[in-house]
Structure 1
Amino acid sequence: MQRSNFRQSAPAVSEPAPAAAPLKTFGRFELRALLSKSARGLTWRVFDARHGQELMLCMPREKPNSAGALEHWLRMAQAGSRVQHPQLAPVFEIGQVESWPYVAYDRALGETLDERLARQAAPVPLDAAGWVAQLLEGLAFAHEAGHAHRDIQTASLVIDAGDKVRLIGLEVAQEVFPANVDFTTVTRRAVRESAEEDVLCVGLLLNRILSGKPVLEQNDLQAVVQQMQPLGREMVRLGWETPHPIPDPLRAICNRATDRQTRQRYHLARSFLRALDGWRQAASYDDGGPIVLLLDKLQRIGHLPTTTTGMHRFTAGSGLEAQHASALSELVLKDMALTLELVRRVNNALKQNGHAGETILNMQRAIQMLGLDGLQGAANALKPWPGPLQPVAAEMLRQVMARVAKAGQLAQALRPAGYDGEVVYLITLMQNLGRLLVQYHFPDDAQQIRQLILPPEPTEDQPHPQGLSEQAAAYAVLGADLDALGAAVARHWGLGDELLQMVRRQPLDAPVHPPRTDADTLRLTGSFANELVDALGLPEARRRPGVEAATRRYAKALGLGLREVMEALNPGAQRPGTVPAASPAPAASPSPLRQRLAGRS
């Protein structure tokens, strides 16, 4: 009883607090948070009591399977830590705990991409592309130094307050080999293969950022790779429901990076970076990126190499009689480089003399204005064929020029009555300016564009696969389309706004409406001729259907039928591969635009 009374009168005693959960440790490190877990690696946020600071610890998911394997892992990690680049995070420490190796980084470098995406709204496409471009810079440098990452995840990017991106985890997820292999031999081969997988994972990372959700509902990008073709059956393409509208060039770049056909993807981090940077700069600044690079090349080596020799024999003499100017005009039109140089010079002269609203696209008038000395100077300013091109690239340029010349001939044959033949030819040529310049100045990129346009091999799932459109392929390689490059150069040469409108081809996915102005007529005539030549380049079974489809598109707008088109395609007496002399325009009352283009007052 007393015992009971004592209990009632005694002060209340609180229940003992539950025992604190024991700290998880890894050697001397206190494990505070798991930042990332994939099939190949782990990333922890830890506290280092020895140095009194937080670190990020990257380690493989599997322990090296032998003492030799551990020694090789440490040696490769040490070599990777010596690769220094602004976009590669500096290594704080490399070590091991009970044969579990790790690489430590200073937490002060920033937060992981996972943490950034969880903390703030989805970034705008330009910012997302900037982050990935920085990652690609560091990754390309590491690949070129003989190292690979092998486990790029959203936690592999560390972003600081100034949006500087660094890559962590280089050489952490190494290949697992049998204990008795020659590590040096197998590693060299494995790095090449792993580098391509790294680039694919960067493409998945870009998809993840732009879409605002995990790819294929998987957080582990390695798991996504295993589900993608050709290993699995899944296709990864950027969807249309995204936090922000995605510009077409960026969409094309992202989709090429994860294309179901491995041959269509970026195989080098540098190629991926170049396309992404081209779009970023063009999107951030007027005429940036590949346009700036192209204009720089124009200054140094010119637009195209000349195919004409002995020009002095044709310019001998003092007069410029009509017959002489006509003969020179024929000669000039056979040389695309000289034709473009005269267009550039005569219109630049007009602009300097205060006639900025005028544009001349008639060679006879251009030669009369510049004189024989001006013609000779233009010819001397051009590099001889094939300029700096190697034989294979030179042959490709010759083929592109032949196709452009054919399009010009067709445009002349199909032009409505009353339009100057040389003007029509030159507008059709200018509609191909970007293609010509890319083939000359960026032959490797031009080859990539052609490969992306070709349809991939058919499969059971895709019996009739389609290649990329030329525009999408150019976006994926250069970050800009070919028409934009050509228009930028035309603007740089001082050509007027009306001409800039005419040198834009009719989009393939847009309907063709009847022309309202002379400018519309000229643009559509050139576009039609160019589409016909594109159709002639198709496999034989698709050639005539392609010609008929192009004819149906333009028939009503230009008043042309299949009979006129077939006659233009098969002129009979005309020698193939030559530029015919411009036939005289039928007598008509010329419009002001026609007068300006032909140089008539």
Structure 2
Amino acid sequence: MSETSSAAPPLRSFGRFELRALLSKSARSLAWRVFDERHGQELMLCMPRDKPNSAPALEHWLRMAQGAERVRHPNLATPFEIGQVENWPYVAYDRALGETLDERLARQNAPLPIDTAGWVAQLLEGLAFAHEAGHAHRDIQTASLIIDANDRVRLVGLEVAQEVFPAAVDFNAVTRRAVRESAEEDVLCVGLLLNRILSGKPVLDENDLQHVVEQMQPIGREIVRLGWETPHPIPDPLRAICNRATDRQLRQRYHLARSFWRALDGWRQAAAYDDGGPVVLLLDKLQRLGHLPTTTTGLHRFTAGSGLEAKHASALSELALKDMALSLELVRRVNHALKQNGHQGETVLNLQRAIQMLGLDGLQLAANALKPWPGPLAPVAAEMLRQLMARVGKAAQVAQALRPAGYDGEVVHLITVMQNLGRLLLQYHFPDDAQQIRQLMVPPEPTEELPNPPAMSEQAAAYAVLGCDLDTLGIAVARHWGLGDELLQMIRRQPLNGLVHPPRSDADTLRLTCSFANELVDALGLPEAKRRPGIEAATRRYAKALGLGLREVMEALNPGTQRPAGGGAAATTPAPAAQPAPSPRERLPSRSGS
């Protein structure tokens, strides 16, 4: 894979691999997108820029790469295969792990600083673990980070760009020193990566971070500091962390990935509750006004009556499910009780199970804690909240109709609702901000130069008004309620511009089904001319992953149609469970992705 003369034809294959695209090329390594004909899948192939210069050097390369493979951490990508082709060594990774940071930045040019810090913190966690295990990367680039749909980051290419020594060197004598020195350079390159993402442009106009390192003091003359013209305002603490990582004085920089991670993670934890931020303002409103007002007339009188004891838990859960505020309050209370009793990682979303655990007194306390409709809202804002809750309720019904057989209807209903939690809370607690976001999403007037001006997306409008997206608000509240990490992942909607991959777990199936239902109901809100195309576009996105077609979708959107016998989707309304014990689908698994 060394450079060839201009007359040589470009390579189209590498052993059994079909070369499809060059993902990254630096002074030290290459990364290719390839197709593996043997296994019938796409891989990412990482290899050194120069072939090992002797048989012992190749043996050493393979030994170090295989040692790095045994270092397992959630933020280190596990190699699919380590091998060689005509003495060219390589490490292959499954492309299904996600997209490279280069690819993410190509479609999301300006991620928020808090998201950037989250990505880099994950990278540093994995890198610190690798360094402490005696391994280094030596060529961290924007293509070295793999990011999946849930923003989980993994580092690829560990031990690919190894130190080049003379052919006759004793590798056992030099390896320890090389790893220690290379680890510090890895940390510096992570600092440059943070600068690159926050600034929105290559550092010193160089794509290869190794070229940047060579120009920086003390080797070169350049000074790298985060500029003031950035896509988003950079908080002072984050700016200080970024500038320290690339300080011109070696002694001022971070020398350990673990130290860098502690500083960055500390800012992230503090930023989540920064004074004046939308999250902390929302949490303060929750303390005073609750999450949503109850929509059930006479609920307080009903819970105080003697007729409650006579009702079966399934009937009570069906009643509670009709009141969005009561449903969420029961979820909050039962999972808080679980956490208080030491049941870490367990999440209950089935309301019948929740009522059985809390008892009738707990149900009455939950109902009595809710504000009556419409709370503090003015009539216009109350009507907007009512319409939003109706759309969310419709999405929950559609999700129930589309869910695969065996999945609990109440769980599907509540996940669909919680994928809209940020929108609901914004409309209730900050109706003026919600109105501004809606106004920004209205397309501008067409002009001769721009006859079809695009509308601003909900996410972009939320950034412009709040400085964060609506999913961030909902997830912050769910985390404040103490709900488990797996549920926090499931209430993240599938990104509209992201590919929909087949689910690998029950949690994936639930998240995608609810996301699909929410997108379908969003399409119903489009102008009439765009409604059917919007439904068809959403169906095409999810059809392969969920095994659903337009017929099932139209039946779910129009529940009055008759289903053929043996249809694939579940009934539109959940059937009450007759047995008191929960089914496996009623309680979320304690671990995701397994």
Which residue number in structure 1 is paired with residue 485 of structure 2?
497
Hey, what's the Cα distance between the residues in 2 that align with 1:398 and 1:507?
Answer: 26
Q: Which amino acid aligns with 1:336?
A: M
1:535 and 2:523 correspond = yes
Which residue number in structure 2 is paired with residue 461 of structure 1?
449
> TM-score scaled by structure 2?
0.51
Secondary structure class of the residue paired with 1:571: coil
CA contact (8 A) 2:314 2:576 kept: no
CA contact (8 A) 1:411 1:425 kept: yes
Hey, what's the Cα distance between the residues in 2 that align with 1:246 and 1:503?
Answer: 34
Which residue number in structure 2 is paired with residue 582 of structure 1?
574
Shift in CA distance, 352/457, structure 1 to aligned 2, threshold 3 Å: same
Q: Which amino acid aligns with 1:564?
A: E
Secondary structure class of the residue paired with 2:497: coil
Shift in CA distance, 563/211, structure 1 to aligned 2, threshold 3 Å: closer
Aligned length: 330
Which residue number in structure 2 is paired with residue 285 of structure 1?
271
After TM superposition, list the pairs within 5 Å mapping 1:50-69 onto structure 2: none
Which residue number in structure 1 is paired with residue 542 of structure 2?
554
Q: Per-residue displacement from partner, 1:409-428 (whole Å, max 9, x unpaired)?
A: 00000001110000000000
After TM superposition, list the pairs within 5 Å mapping 1:366-445 onto structure 2: 366-445=354-433
Q: Which amino acid aligns with 2:575?
A: S
Shift in CA distance, 550/450, structure 1 to aligned 2, threshold 3 Å: same
Shift in CA distance, 367/471, structure 1 to aligned 2, threshold 3 Å: same
Which residue number in structure 2 is paired with residue 345 of structure 1?
333
Hey, what's the Cα distance between the residues in 1 that align with 2:456 and 2:308?
Answer: 53
- Structure 1 stretches of 4+ with a deviation exceeding 3 A read 209-212, 242-251, 281-284, 314-321, 584-587, 590-598
Q: Which amino acid aligns with 2:477?
A: V
Shift in CA distance, 247/402, structure 1 to aligned 2, threshold 3 Å: farther
Which residue number in structure 1 is paired with residue 23 of structure 2?
none
Hey, what's the Cα distance between the residues in 2 that align with 1:510 and 1:444?
Answer: 30
CA contact (8 A) 1:417 1:585 kept: no
Which residue number in structure 2 is paired with residue 313 of structure 1?
302
After TM superposition, list the pairs within 5 Å mapping 1:80-95 onto structure 2: none
Secondary structure class of the residue paired with 2:391: helix
Shift in CA distance, 529/363, structure 1 to aligned 2, threshold 3 Å: same
Identity of aligned pairs, percent?
Answer: 74
CA contact (8 A) 1:551 1:565 kept: yes
CA contact (8 A) 1:518 1:594 kept: no
Shift in CA distance, 337/248, structure 1 to aligned 2, threshold 3 Å: farther
Q: Which amino acid aligns with 2:574?
A: A
Q: Which amino acid aligns with 1:389?
A: L
Shift in CA distance, 504/586, structure 1 to aligned 2, threshold 3 Å: farther
Hey, what's the Cα distance between the residues in 2 that align with 1:470 and 1:348?
Answer: 32
Q: Which amino acid aligns with 1:438?
A: L
Secondary structure class of the residue paired with 1:354: coil
1:594 deviation in Å?
4.7
Shift in CA distance, 440/563, structure 1 to aligned 2, threshold 3 Å: same
1:339 deviation in Å?
0.8
After TM superposition, list the pairs within 5 Å mapping 1:107-126 onto structure 2: none
CA contact (8 A) 1:502 1:523 kept: yes
Secondary structure class of the residue paired with 2:552: helix
Shift in CA distance, 568/315, structure 1 to aligned 2, threshold 3 Å: farther
> TM-score scaled by structure 1?
0.51
1:435 deviation in Å?
0.1
| Higher gyration radius (CA) | 1
Hey, what's the Cα distance between the residues in 1 that align with 2:444 and 2:395?
Answer: 27
Q: Select which of 316, 325, 328 maps to 2:316.
A: 328
Hey, what's the Cα distance between the residues in 2 that align with 1:593 and 1:419?
Answer: 5
Q: Which amino acid aligns with 1:337?
A: A
CA contact (8 A) 1:513 1:557 kept: yes
1:356 deviation in Å?
2.0
CA contact (8 A) 1:249 1:476 kept: no
CA contact (8 A) 2:385 2:427 kept: yes
Hey, what's the Cα distance between the residues in 2 that align with 1:518 and 1:458?
Answer: 45
1:429 deviation in Å?
0.3
Secondary structure class of the residue paired with 2:332: helix
Hey, what's the Cα distance between the residues in 2 that align with 1:567 and 1:397?
Answer: 27
After TM superposition, list the pairs within 5 Å mapping 1:25-424 onto structure 2: 285-288=271-274, 289-311=277-299, 312-313=301-302, 316-317=305-306, 324-424=312-412
Secondary structure class of the residue paired with 2:296: coil
Secondary structure class of the residue paired with 2:312: helix
CA contact (8 A) 2:406 2:585 kept: no
- Which segments of 5 or more consecutive residues in structure 1 lack a partner in the other structure? 1-124, 127-208, 213-241, 252-280
CA contact (8 A) 2:394 2:521 kept: yes
Q: Per-residue displacement from partner, 1:523-581 (whole Å, max 9, x unpaired)?
A: 0011000000110000000000000000000000000000000001111179xxxx974
CA contact (8 A) 1:418 1:586 kept: no
Which residue number in structure 1 is paired with residue 5 of structure 2?
none
Which residue number in structure 2 is paired with residue 29 of structure 1?
none
CA contact (8 A) 1:320 1:368 kept: no
